[in-house]
């Protein structure tokens, strides 16, 4: 009985276990299914983030994958898609070697300042070796320009949209034209609409309808566009056999008429650009000569070391950039007072050590200062080596102001003209408003009378030479932004400086200003016709003939001893 009861209990327990086990198995199966579903959802989320996927393939994929990734990136609608594509086109997209994180890098001194590409957040400075550049092919570069332009068309900024449309002028295809037609109906900015119409007119030149082509030429002749000029030029060209490429006589005549109108404006803008380059050259000549006008006019010293004082100012700019590699713009600004002080101190040392023993003997001052120039050149070679040094142009001075296709003005030369006028104005204030200026003018007009009135002429000579030398150093700062810095920098400007001083009138600042700008403009006007070397020779011949007629220059110095 007891055995039967035990068997029955064991059978019941086994039955219960069988009933419970499937439930346990079901629970485990359900849990595993849930975990699997959660992982799948996470993977799906990763796959469903096209921006992150495209960015990852952009920095680590093959060249073909980069093309696909850039295409995918352009349609994500992400706020950082446009900056990333622009950085890729400009060669500023990099990957951190250790993290494989996409970053946008900007050169800063000896390294790079980077920002995370996906967020735009600043990541600070890194060494060049920490980054791996994302390279692209020319084919991808062409596609990127088109993608970027299409994205920029959606911008709220009219200037961005205008830039996008201008970028499409040469590469507009049927799809682009269709898209521009859609945007034309909603565009409100006149400049953007004008650029769109230019693209439509260029496309109409290929139309089979003759009247459409003629209307397109009427439109194109009003545009300052190189692309319009080139397309119209094709219509009047001949093939290798001497036959006109365009067979229709009326179309050719219309194209010639449109070209004449465009060429007239092109010639005008070329003259404006030449005038601007002449002004910038004149500004350099004024900066180089203005200090020499003071020393030569007041002291009668022929300072052949004036160019080397400019060289010291240029090297001061280079040293300041080595000290502040991460603040290029600030280093250039701080180099101005530093160059003035260094060149002025060297100038005072030259005057007190050598020049003061040679007053009244101009030829001997010429020889002595020529020896000083050789000494300064060799000193610089010993310290910095004979090789030229490159000075980095600040970002705000780089690039150009593109007014239209026919006229572009570089910012660095524009700032040099402005800087020249500021230095000239400051020097005028010093000479007119300060005691030193009063004493300098008195000594320049009549040294013996000034000495009799108690003016310490020896101190005035030293301060005058230091002032002229300091301005030469400031001129060197400006020169460092348009040419390489080297030991022979000053030799290129010393002769021109004397020409400006003599032509304008010895000791007359206004004469130096007018003469510098006049010679600069004349030189640049002659260069296209005579060449650079012959242009300088012609200017020199003109000055020689002018001095024969007016030995005291354009604006001769006035004073009781002026005629002596």
Q: Given pLDDT bands bounded at 50, 70 and 90, which one contains residue 11?
A: low
Q: Report how many domains make up the chain.
A: 3
CB 332 within 8 A of CB 316: no
Per-residue model confidence as pLDDT tens digits over 420-471 = 999 999 988 888 888 888 888 787 777 778 888 888 878 888 888 888 899 9
HEC per residue, 168-233: CCCCCCHHHHHHHHHHHCCCCCHHHHHHHHHHHHHHHCCCCCHHHHHHHHHHHCCCCCHHHHHHHH
Which of 79, 109, 139 terminates a domain? The answer is: 139
More confident site: 152 or 468: 468
Spatial distance between the Cα atoms of 310 and 494, rounded to a whole number of angstroms: 10
Does 236 lie in the same domain as 311? no
33 has a pLDDT exceeding 80: no
**Cα gap 168→500, rounded to integer Å:** 47
* CA 564/CA 555 separation, integer angstroms: 16
pLDDT in the model for residue 269? 92
Please indicate, yes or no, whether residues 195 and 319 belong to a single structural domain of this protein. no
Residue percentage of the chain with pLDDT more than 70: 89
Residues 419 and 385 in one domain: yes
Q: What is the pLDDT of residue 381?
A: 92
Query: How confident is the model at residue 459, as a pLDDT?
Result: 85
Same-domain pairing of 126 and 170: no
User: What is the predicted pLDDT for the residue at 336?
Assistant: 93
Q: Give yes or no for residue 6 having a pLDDT over 60.
A: no
Same domain, 474 and 437: yes
Same domain, 436 and 305: yes
Is residue 267 scored above 60 in pLDDT? yes
Residue 47: the pLDDT is 46
> Distance (Å, rounded) from C-alpha 21 to C-alpha 42?
31
Shared domain check, 460 and 335: yes
**Residue 361 parent element (H or E):** none
Domain of 528, CATH number, reads 1.10.3470
Angle at 479 between CA 377 and CA 113, to 5 degrees: 110
Question: Please, which pLDDT band fits residue 558 given cuts at 50, 70 and 90?
Answer: low
* First-last CA distance in the chain: 155
Q: Flag whether pLDDT at 25 surpasses 60.
A: no
Q: DSSP 3-state assignment of 93?
A: strand
| pLDDT at position 31 over 50 | no
pLDDT of 503-514, one tens digit each? Answer: 888 777 888 899
Q: Residue 491 gets which letter from DSSP?
A: G
- Evaluate whether residue 266 is within a structural domain: no
Q: Following DSSP, what letter does each residue of 106-172 receive, concatenated? A: EEETTEEEEEETTT--EEEEE-GGGEEE----HHHHHHHHHHHHHHHTT-S-HHHHHHHHHHTTTT-
Asked if residue 506 and residue 454 are part of one domain, the reply reads yes
Single out the residue of 316, 321, 355, 322 nearest to residue 339, CA to CA. Answer: 316
Question: 17-21, 196-200, 257-261, 428-432: which has the minimum mean pLDDT?
Answer: 17-21
Task: Identify the pLDDT of residue 449.
Answer: 83
Distance CA 150, CA 509 (A): 55
Say whether both 296 and 239 belong to one domain: no
Residue 69 lies in a domain: yes
What local confidence, expressed as pLDDT, does residue 98 receive?
64
Q: What is the pLDDT of residue 99?
A: 60
> DSSP character for 387?
S
Mean pLDDT, rounded, for 467-476: 91
- 305, 449: one domain: yes
Q: Is residue 556 part of a domain?
A: no
What is the structure's pLDDT at 110? Answer: 67
Q: Which has the minimum average pLDDT: 2-11, 173-182, 212-221, 550-559? A: 2-11
Residue 10 has pLDDT above 70, yes or no: no
pLDDT band at 34 (very low <50, low <70, confident <90, very high): very low
Question: Higher model confidence: residue 342 or residue 482?
Answer: 342
Tell me if 560 is assigned to some domain: no
- Whether 15 is in a domain gets the answer no
With respect to residue 334, please indicate whether it lies within any of the assigned structural domains: yes
Identify the domain containing residue 69 by its residue range: 51-139
Check whether residue 353 and residue 454 sit in a common domain.
Answer: yes
User: Could you tell me how many helices (H) and strands (E) the chain has, helices first?
Assistant: 21, 7
Residues 6+ apart with CB under 8 A from 410: 399, 400, 401
Closest CA to 341 of 493, 472, 436: 472
The residue-averaged pLDDT of 150-154 equals: 76
Mean pLDDT of the region 24-39: 46
Say whether both 60 and 126 belong to one domain.
yes
Q: Is residue 163 part of a domain?
A: yes
Can you give the pTM of this predicted structure?
Answer: 0.72
The answer as to whether 564 is a domain residue is no
Residue 109 is predicted with a pLDDT of 64
Matching residue, tokens 């995918």: 72
Q: Dump pLDDT digits (tens) for 65-82.
A: 888 888 887 777 787 888
**pLDDT beyond 60 at 30:** no
pLDDT tens for 132-141 read 888 888 888 8
């Amino acid at each position: 009985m007891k055995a039967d009861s035990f068997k029955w209990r064991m059978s019941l327990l086994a039955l219960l276990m069988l009933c419970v086990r499937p439930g346990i198995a079901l629970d485990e199966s359900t849990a595993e299914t849930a975990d699997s579903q959660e992982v799948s959802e996470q993977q799906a989320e990763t796959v469903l983030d096209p921006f992150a996927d495209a960015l990852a393939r952009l920095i680590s994929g093959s060249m073909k994958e980069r093309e696909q990734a850039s295409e995918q990136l352009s349609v994500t609608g992400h706020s950082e898609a446009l900056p990333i594509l622009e950085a890729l086109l400009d060669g500023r997209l990099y990957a951190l070697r250790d993290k494989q994180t996409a970053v946008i890098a900007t050169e800063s001194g000896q390294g790079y300042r980077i920002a995370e590409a996906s967020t735009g957040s600043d990541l600070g400075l890194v060494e060049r070796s920490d980054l791996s550049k994302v390279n692209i092919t020319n084919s991808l570069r062409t596609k990127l320009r088109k993608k970027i332009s299409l994205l920029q068309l959606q911008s709220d900024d009219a200037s961005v949209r205008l830039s996008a449309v201008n970028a499409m002028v040469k590469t507009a295809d049927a799809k682009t034209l269709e898209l521009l037609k859609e945007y034309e109906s909603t565009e409100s900015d006149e400049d953007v609409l004008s650029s769109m119409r230019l693209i439509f007119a260029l496309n109409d030149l290929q139309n089979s309808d003759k009247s459409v082509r003629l209307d397109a030429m009427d439109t194109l002749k009003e545009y300052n566009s190189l692309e319009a000029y080139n397309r119209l030029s094709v219509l009047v060209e001949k093939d290798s056999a001497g036959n006109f490429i365009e067979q229709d006589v009326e179309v050719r005549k219309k194209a010639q008429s449109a070209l004449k109108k465009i060429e007239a404006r092109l010639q005008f803008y070329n003259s404006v650009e030449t005038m601007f380059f002449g002004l910038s050259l004149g500004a350099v000549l004024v900066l180089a000569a203005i200090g020499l006008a003071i020393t030569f006019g007041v002291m009668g010293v022929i300072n052949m070391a004036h160019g080397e004082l400019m060289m010291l100012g240029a090297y001061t700019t280079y040293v300041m950039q080595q000290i502040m590699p991460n603040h290029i713009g600030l280093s250039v600004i701080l180099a101005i007072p530093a160059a003035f002080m260094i060149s002025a101190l060297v100038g005072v040392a030259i005057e007190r050590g050598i020049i003061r023993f040679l007053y009244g003997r101009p030829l001997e001052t010429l020889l002595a200062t020529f020896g000083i120039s050789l000494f300064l050149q060799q000193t610089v070679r010993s310290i910095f080596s004979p090789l030229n040094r490159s000075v980095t142009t600040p970002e705000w001075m780089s690039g150009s102001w593109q007014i239209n296709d026919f006229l572009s003005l570089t910012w660095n030369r524009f700032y040099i003209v402005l800087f020249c006028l500021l230095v000239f104005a400051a020097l005028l204030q010093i000479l007119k408003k300060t005691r030193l200026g009063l004493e300098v003018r008195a000594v320049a007009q009549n040294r013996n009378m000034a000495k009799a009135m108690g003016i310490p002429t020896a101190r005035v000579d030293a301060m005058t030479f230091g002032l002229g030398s300091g301005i030469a150093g400031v001129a060197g700062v400006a020169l460092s932004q348009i040419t390489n810095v080297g030991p022979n920098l000053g030799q290129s400007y010393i002769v021109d400086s004397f020409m400006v001083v003599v032509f304008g009138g010895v000791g007359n600042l206004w004469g130096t200003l007018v003469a510098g700008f006049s010679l600069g403009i004349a030189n640049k006007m002659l260069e296209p016709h005579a060449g650079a070397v012959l242009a300088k020779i012609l200017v020199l011949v003109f000055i020689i003939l002018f001095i024969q007629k007016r030995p005291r220059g354009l604006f001769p110095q006035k004073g009781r001893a002026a005629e002596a």
